[in-house]
Chains A and B, each alone.
Chain A
């Protein structure tokens, strides 16, 4: 059962459209698998929509300068809007409902279904190190890196921390760390105060978003720090 969910603040920013594409997709993927969050999102969207459109706008648009008005008492903006209406309604074009397509991705000879939130995103080539494989999701969001990370059975990521945040959404399989077991659909948001050492016994596929390279914290693994940038 899914135990880890996005915070309410995160869902709020998601509904408002204020999050970067990487995090928005992370929440959408989670919500696809989590009826509870899906419901919160639907209710919040309805509420935000209602609030956005119910306020009277007149107080903000009080006309105090009549000089721009012509005899018909129409403002420039009105004329612009009238043009816009004519322009829009002159189009005969009708949108066709998107049919649901399925897209898949392969890691180590295993085929996974690609979450629909990622369908239009460009994926880089798969690269491998040991039991880890990753494909970058090319979103061009500066320091934020988004990745599909595959861990083969028995693989793991050495104990590490992050200077920034690290989001993991488990797309398939399971893994565990010091905090417990994670299953398909879990939405795990960590920051620099967390250290962990995820291990996947059966193998898993994760969608990860991080805004800095990971930083290995223990003994000999510190030698791995140069590859921290590889993984996330």
Chain B
């Protein structure tokens, strides 16, 4: 088998050649796929994960076609489910690993037993919840309420609220990242917060 992804379009070189994984970068790409269906970010993710998935799957199936099927299936799940990834619940690598392991498990069952019952997502739910006490559950509920309110914001404001509060980027970082003047970031954030206050106030009444 031959692979030479380094020659391919984008410059993922530094990520591919080191032993250390750049976790914030992976999260960022996943987020770009989730929020803007960014194909470039997906290509980066693909170049990082696909060859490794292919190798691991080949180890399990001893068959190139099936190894490729695992890559295809896993990566298309990443594309379709990126918005379900929650960086606060675990690393991007853990999430992609879970997707890959589940795809592999269902495929093995299909090959061995001719069963297409896709049990894996019940056995290993994707958003693996960490141990939580009641307090965490409360927080979680509040978060999901907050999230649904945030989703009602205009796209431009949503982006900034999410970047600032969920990904903990600074206003300066956001300005660079979104290629906008710092003042715009600040005013959008202020506007968004004012709206959220009204909405959450309403909901809490």
Contact = CB atoms under 8 A, between A and B. Distances in A.
Interface string A66-85: 00110011111110111011
Nearest to A86: B39
B192 interface: no
Nearest to A64: B2
B119 A120 contact: yes
A116 B79 CA distance: 26
Interface in B81-133: 81, 83-84, 90-91, 93-94, 96-98, 101-102, 104-105, 108-109, 113, 115, 117-125, 127-128, 130-131
A35 B131 contact: yes
A27 to B, nearest CB: 8
B123 A117 contact: yes
A46 interface: yes
Contact-residue bracket for chain B: 35 or more
B104 A17 contact: yes
B50 interface: yes
Q: Which of A16, A17, A38, A141 counts the most B-chain CB atoms under 10 A from its CB? A: A17
A194 to B, nearest CB: 26
Contacts of B18: 56
A17 B101 contact: yes
A94 B121 CA distance: 17
Contacts of B63: none
Interface stretch (B3-11, B159-167, B177-185): B3-11
B97 A95 contact: no
Contact of A94 (B39, B83, B94, B109): B83
Contacts of A61: 1-4, 51, 55
Given A52-B56, A116-B122, A120-B119, A21 B109 contact: yes
Contact of A91 (B76, B109, B113): B76
A116 B125 contact: yes
A78 B3 contact: yes
A141 B113 contact: yes
Contacts of B108: 17
A25 B119 contact: yes
B29 interface: no
A54 B20 contact: yes
Main secondary structure of the interface of B (DSSP, over half): helix
Given A45-B98, A118-B122, A88 B93 contact: no
Interface in A32-77: 35, 38-39, 42, 45-46, 48-50, 52-58, 60-61, 63, 65, 68-69, 72-77
Contacts of A121: 117, 119, 122
Contact of B79 (A46, A53, A88): A88
Nearest to B83: A94
Given A35-B131, A75-B4, A53 B80 contact: no
Contacts of B96: 49, 53
Interface in A137-192: 139-141
A25 B42 CA distance: 32
B94 A60 contact: no
A185 B5 CA distance: 48
- What are the 3 closest A-B residue pairs judged by CB atoms, nearest first? A49-B97, A61-B3, A17-B101
27 contacts: A17-B104, A17-B108, A17-B120, A24-B105, A25-B119, A38-B131, A45-B94, A46-B94, A49-B97, A52-B52, A53-B93, A54-B21, A55-B52, A57-B3, A57-B16, A63-B2, A74-B4, A74-B8, A85-B42, A88-B46, A88-B72, A89-B37, A98-B121, A119-B122, A120-B118, A121-B117, A139-B113
Interface of B: 1-5, 7-8, 16-21, 37, 39, 42-43, 46-52, 55-56, 68, 71-72, 75-77, 79-81, 83-84, 90-91, 93-94, 96-98, 101-102, 104-105, 108-109, 113, 115, 117-125, 127-128, 130-131
